[in-house]
Structures are given as structure tokens and as C-alpha cells.
């Protein structure tokens, strides 16, 4: 129903309990995991662990008598078996069906009756469920969430109906969206071995075959307290949540069979890739580039922070290098943007996107973009650029940290992909430490065309024999 805050990036599929998916194609500047700036001292989180292995984090915020209650599962699309893409997200939908004591759909109805909101979302690295509700109802929603953790009644008759729902979602959000289709093909080309190349919502042909067995298998494998993180933010005390968590989630037995397949890692990436997608439904041509990058979880200290700031300087907003050069000065682009998604457990991604100005070819636009990137990769950025970007980041984060649910998501996401509370809370400090030398070093390695995919969306009829029109240009002199 409501569009969730947009400070998540990449391929996360958000869906409401009534099965609307929000694919976040419009990105804001805010990064996801790791990019955590506690606004006030009192928002610092406390982490503890139950005897059954369930972790919990509490972020007190006493400004209003409401709480945000989330449960994060360490199981996402990248954990799906080959050929069963979409099952993580499908199961997320099925989690709103019947449990031992609730009828199908009753979960959300109860939350709504209590004046609350609930929702869920699935990403490559996690699946999460949340409710925002008056504080005195926290024990109630906790009990409901605890119940569906292991007592979901996955009835075969629900499969077909709900599968039709996710198929329709894919049609609406992906099949009917040329940009989404191009990006999906780009992701498939960016990852040679890692499952991030598979869309979170799933490939259509695999979604059509998702079965009751697939859902049960995924549920039994991953939905257990020792594979979950509880996040409560809002008008609560740590002691209160500890007591409730122990009482409500504590009795759920750990599942010793929770086991993650080790995900494949990328082999050496040696060759630039291109994806040429023609779709007459597209309004304008689009240029898009992805570079494989480290994530906050896998980067060297300071590296992911540098990339966050660097990409902001290069590509985000009206003061960015690309905007000033391409939109304002050379008038080659009508829009340009870019972001660094450092939120993945295994890999991050830098994205650059641009729409050419009327009458400008994608080739000319691309050459100009590459000139700007090559300059930054060689010469780095200025102290003034670093200061401005960093300050805006921190200011934005301070502002956004006022949101109880944003905070809950930040901690939940950071923890689920393997960060510590210290890393999560230390983000602004890490940002403050960055020097232009750090950014220069990051820039030198970030824009390696051999680890990239360049996508072009052409608003033309799809042509089977258009090969020659996709041939590479003569080498340009710059770059």
C-alpha cells in the first residue's frame, strides 16, 4: 500500500502482504547497510542473543508511543537452489497465509485492526517482516510473528493462487518495464558465477514451476530462530524487549539443520560486457553501466565508505561531475545519475545511468561519460568535493535517522549481511576520516571496464537480425 522509504538499493523486492511489489528503480542517495548514522546518542542499539540462537537488537526511541517490530531471516534470493528462483519472495507472500491459529490473511487484518501497518520484503540476502504499531500491542504482534516463524500451514491449495499473484507482479513490474528488463539482463551479465545475477523476483519460467514442495523446503531450511534477527525500535526499553523476546521467541527450538550453501564467488572478470536491449515501449534511450564492486561487508576498511562518497561526487545530483559536465556544460544528457550499492553480503555495485539529450547519440554520451570517469580514476577528486559530499551524506542521514522504521531497517540489514553494531554505528566517523587520497585510491580501482556491463536501452522494435547495428565503434581517442 504505502511506498517504503527508498534508502534501499539494488534488487530488493519489497512487497506488501497483499502482494504489491515495490521494485526500487528510482534511487535516492542514501546507501543501505553500513550507511548508518545514529542521529542521537539515545538511538544506539543494544544487541543480545537468546538461548536458541536468535539475535535481537533494540533501538529505543521514546518520542512517540509506537514501536517498529521486525524479524529478519538470513535467507534471500541468493540462497535459492538453482532453477528455483523466486522461491524466497514467494515464501514471503505465503507467510501471510494460515498458521496454526490464524486463517489465511488474518495476520494483516489483525495488525490493521490494532491500527498498525505491516509489510515484508525480500532481497538477495534476506527476507524481512515488520509491523509498526502502538507500543502496548508489541507483545501481540510478537506472538503472531513468532507463530509464523515455524508454524505456518503451507496449504497446497494456496500455491496456485498466490503463484498467479507473483507472476502478475513480475509482469507488471518487470515484463512491462523496459528499464527493469534491461537491468535484469545486465545483472545476469555482470555476475559470471554468483547468484546475484538472478533476479530476486525470479525468472518467469522458473516462477511458473514453483511448487508447494519448493516453499516447504525453503521454509524448513531457513525459518528458525537461530537464522533470524529480531529488531525492535521505538518506545521500548532494552529490558522490556529482552523479557518479551525470551518469553515469546525463546521457546522456539533452534533448527540445527539450518545450513547455507556456500555461494559461488566470481572468477576473475576479464572482459567488458555489453547488453543491447531494444524495446519499442521504452520512451527514451537509456545508457546504464554497472561496475562490480566490493560491499560494506567485503571491502577493506574505508573502501566502501570511499565508494559511497566517490560515486556521489561523480554521479549523484546537480553538483556531481557528470551532471555538470554532461547536462549543464556539454548538454549531451537530459539526466544523469549514479549510486553505489554496498549493501550486499558478497558484492557491491556501482551504477551510472544517463538519458541522452534530444538528438544526441548514446555513443557520444558514453564517450563523454567515460572521459569524466577516466579523469576521476586518474586524478581523484578535490577536498572541497569530498567535504561537500560527505557533509550532505551525514546531514541526510541525521535527518533520515529520525525515522524509527529507517533505523530498524538499518540495523537489521547491517546485521543480517554480517556487520557489527560498531561498524553500523561507526559509519559517520568512518566517513569523517576519509581523505582525498582514500578517494583517489578507491577511484583508481572502482571503474574497471573489465568488471563492468554497459547496457543500452533503445526505443526501437525488437529486431532479431540487428547484429551489425550493435557493433562496437572505432576506438575513440580519449579514455
Of these, 113, 267, 358, 384, which contacts a copy of itself (CB under 8 A)? 267
Of these, 1, 2, 262, 359, which contacts a copy of itself (CB under 8 A)? 262
Minimal distance in Å, beta carbon 396 to a copy of itself?
29
CA distance 303 to 95: 38
Minimal distance in Å, beta carbon 257 to a copy of itself?
18
Chain center to CA of 140? 29
Of these, 68, 177, 298, 454, which contacts a copy of itself (CB under 8 A)? 454
Q: Do residues 34 and 343 touch, judged by C-beta distance below 8 A? A: yes
Q: Which residues contact 297 (CB under 8 A, 6 or more apart)?
A: 33, 34, 344, 345, 346, 417, 418, 419
Minimal distance in Å, beta carbon 305 to a copy of itself?
22
**Judged by CB under 8 A, does residue 456 bind a copy of itself?**
yes
3-class SS of residue 315 = helix
CA gyration radius, the chain: 23
Of these, 64, 112, 328, 473, which contacts a copy of itself (CB under 8 A)? 473
**Judged by CB under 8 A, does residue 156 bind a copy of itself?**
no
Chain center to CA of 11? 5
For a copy of itself, the closer CB: 250 or 285: 285
Contacts of a copy of itself in 194-223 (CB under 8 A): 195, 197-198, 203-206
Q: How far is CA 6 from CA 10, 29, 112, 137, in A?
A: 11, 9, 23, 27
Torsion, Cα of 349, 350, 355, 359 (10° steps): -120
**Is 92 annotated as catalytic?**
yes
Contacts of a copy of itself in 74-113 (CB under 8 A): 81-83, 85
For a copy of itself, the closer CB: 239 or 470: 470
Minimal distance in Å, beta carbon 464 to a copy of itself?
4
**Judged by CB under 8 A, does residue 461 bind a copy of itself?**
no
Q: Do residues 53 and 258 touch, judged by C-beta distance below 8 A? A: no
**Judged by CB under 8 A, does residue 470 bind a copy of itself?**
yes
Of these, 41, 359, 384, 464, which contacts a copy of itself (CB under 8 A)? 464
Minimal distance in Å, beta carbon 419 to a copy of itself?
23
Ranges of H-type helices in 16-99: 87-94
CA distance 151 to 98: 9
**Judged by CB under 8 A, does residue 165 bind a copy of itself?**
no
Minimal distance in Å, beta carbon 82 to a copy of itself?
5
Q: Do residues 50 and 250 touch, judged by C-beta distance below 8 A? A: yes
Query: Which listed residue (42, 80, 92, 175) is catalytic?
Result: 92
For a copy of itself, the closer CB: 383 or 462: 462
Which of 313, 311, 315, 322 is closest to 368 using CA atoms?
Answer: 322
Which of 34, 96, 64, 398 is closest to 233 using CA atoms?
Answer: 64
**Judged by CB under 8 A, does residue 468 bind a copy of itself?**
yes
3-class SS of residue 16 = coil
Contacts of a copy of itself in 278-317 (CB under 8 A): 278, 289
Residue 267: CB atoms within 10 Å: 9
For a copy of itself, the closer CB: 378 or 435: 378
HSE-up of residue 21 (Cα within 13 Å, Cβ side): 25
**Judged by CB under 8 A, does residue 176 bind a copy of itself?**
no
Size of the residue set binding a copy of itself (CB under 8 A): 73
Of these, 109, 388, 448, 459, which contacts a copy of itself (CB under 8 A)? 448
Contacts of a copy of itself in 332-391 (CB under 8 A): 361-363, 366-367, 369-371, 373-374, 377-378
Q: Show the binding pattern over residues 4-43: x = contacts a copy of itself (CB under 8 A), - = does not.
A: ----------------------------------------
**Judged by CB under 8 A, does residue 466 bind a copy of itself?**
yes
HSE-up of residue 260 (Cα within 13 Å, Cβ side): 14
Chain center to CA of 222? 20
Residue 62: CB atoms within 10 Å: 11
**Judged by CB under 8 A, does residue 189 bind a copy of itself?**
yes
Beta bridge partners of 381: none
Largest pairwise CA distance in the chain: 69
Of these, 19, 114, 165, 192, which contacts a copy of itself (CB under 8 A)? 192
Show which residues are catalytic.
92
Amino acid at each position: 500500500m504505502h511506498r517504503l522509504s527508498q534508502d534501499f538499493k539494488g534488487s530488493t523486492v519489497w512487497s506488501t502482504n497483499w502482494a504489491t511489489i515495490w521494485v526500487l528503480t528510482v534511487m535516492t542517495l542514501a546507501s543501505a547497510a553500513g550507511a548508518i548514522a545514529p542521529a542521537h546518542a539515545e538511538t544506539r542499539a543494544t544487541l543480545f542473543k537468546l538461548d536458541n540462537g536468535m539475535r535481537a537488537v533494540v533501538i529505543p526511541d521514546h518520542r512517540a508511543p509506537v514501536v517498529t517490530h521486525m524479524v529478519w531471516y538470513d535467507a534471500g534470493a541468493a540462497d535459492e537452489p538453482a532453477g528455483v528462483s523466486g522461491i524466497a519472495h514467494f515464501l514471503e507472500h505465503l507467510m501471510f497465509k494460515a498458521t496454526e491459529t490464524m486463517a489465511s490473511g488474518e495476520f494483516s487484518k489483525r495488525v490493521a485492526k490494532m491500527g498498525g501497518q505491516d509489510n515484508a520484503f525480500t532481497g538477495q540476502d534476506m527476507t524481512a517482516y515488520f509491523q509498526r504499531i502502538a507500543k502496548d500491542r508489541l507483545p501481540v504482534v510478537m506472538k503472531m510473528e513468532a507463530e509464523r516463524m515455524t508454524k505456518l500451514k503451507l496449504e497446497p491449495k494456496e500455491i496456485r493462487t498466490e503463484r498467479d499473484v507473483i507472476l502478475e507482479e513480475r509482469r507488471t513490474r518487470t515484463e512491462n518495464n523496459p528499464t527493469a528488463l534491461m537491468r535484469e539482463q545486465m545483472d545476469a551479465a555482470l555476475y559470471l558465477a554468483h547468484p546475484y545475477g538472478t533476479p530476486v523476483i525470479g525468472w518467469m519460467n522458473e516462477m511458473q514451476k514453483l511448487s508447494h514442495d519448493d516453499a516447504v523446503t525453503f521454509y524448513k531450511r531457513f525459518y528458525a530462530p537461530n537464522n533470524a534477527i529480531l529488531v525492535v525500535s521505538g518506545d521500548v526499553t532494552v529490558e522490556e524487549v529482552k523479557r518479551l523476546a525470551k518469553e515469546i521467541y525463546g521457546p522456539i527450538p533452534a533448527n540445527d539443520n539450518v545450513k547455507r550453501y556456500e555461494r559461488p564467488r566470481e572468477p576473475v572478470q576479464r572482459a567488458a560486457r555489453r547488453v543491447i536491449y531494444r524495446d519499442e515501449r521504452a520512451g527514451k534511450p537509456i545508457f546504464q553501466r554497472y561496475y562490480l564492486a566490493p560491499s560494506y561487508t567485503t571491502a577493506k576498511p574505508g573502501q566502501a565508505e570511499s565508494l559511497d562518497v566517490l560515486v556521489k561526487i561523480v554521479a549523484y545530483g546537480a553538483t556531481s561531475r557528470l551532471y555538470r559536465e554532461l547536462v549543464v556544460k556539454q548538454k549531451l544528457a537530459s539526466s544523469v545519475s549514479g549510486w553505489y550499492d554496498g549493501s550486499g553480503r558478497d558484492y557491491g555495485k556501482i551504477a551510472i545511468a544517463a538519458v541522452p539529450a534530444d538528438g544526441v547519440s548514446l555513443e557520444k554520451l558514453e564517450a563523454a561519460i567515460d572521459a569524466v570517469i577516466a579523469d576521476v580514476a586518474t586524478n581523484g577528486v578535490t577536498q572541497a568535493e569530498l567535504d561537500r559530499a560527505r557533509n550532505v551524506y551525514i546531514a541526510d542521514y541525521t535527518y533520515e535517522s529520525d525515522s524509527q522504521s529507517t533505523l530498524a531497517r538499518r540495523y537489521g540489514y547491517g546485521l543480517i549481511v554480517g556487520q557489527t553494531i560498531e561498524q553500523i554505528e561507526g559509519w559517520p566517523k568512518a566517513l569523517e576520516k576519509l581523505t582525498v587520497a582514500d578517494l583517489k585510491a578507491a577511484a583508481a580501482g572502482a571503474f574497471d571496464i573489465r568488471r563492468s556491463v554497459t547496457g543500452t536501452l533503445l526505443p526501437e522494435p525488437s529486431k532479431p537480425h540487428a547484429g551489425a547495428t550493435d557493433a562496437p565503434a572505432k576506438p575513440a581517442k580519449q579514455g
